[in-house]
Structure 1
Amino acid sequence: MTDGATEQQIELRNLVSGSRQVLVRLRPVIIPILAPLLAARQRGANGAKLRRFCMDLLPK
């Protein structure tokens, strides 16, 4: 990750009834790494690298 990149968490609540909650996690994505992987994926290359990159974004 780049300097200053952090995971942010936002909790949205239904203030009228208070019964529904939604948790949203915002993860930093390094565009200079992701862009070439997506471009290569369109050509059928780097599928494994793209999958690894995406799996690393999932919570452990």
Structure 2
Amino acid sequence: MKKDLMEILACPICKGDLVLNVEKEDENEVISGTLYCSVCNEYYPIEEGIPNMLPPDLRE
């Protein structure tokens, strides 16, 4: 996931701002980590560079 996406990404539940927590990155992209919404207290995983923005009840 490119860090530039943080400018347009929002929580799918409340449309609030997200906080990026990076676990692994290369020079251009975030490989793994989480996106956190402090309003909903929900985390959205980033796995293999892809953010999973599905609400928690719809994830596998």
TM-score range (shorter-chain normalised) is under 0.3
Greater strand proportion: 2
TM-score by length of 2: 0.23
Higher helix proportion, which one?
1
Give TM-score scaled by structure 1 length.
Answer: 0.23
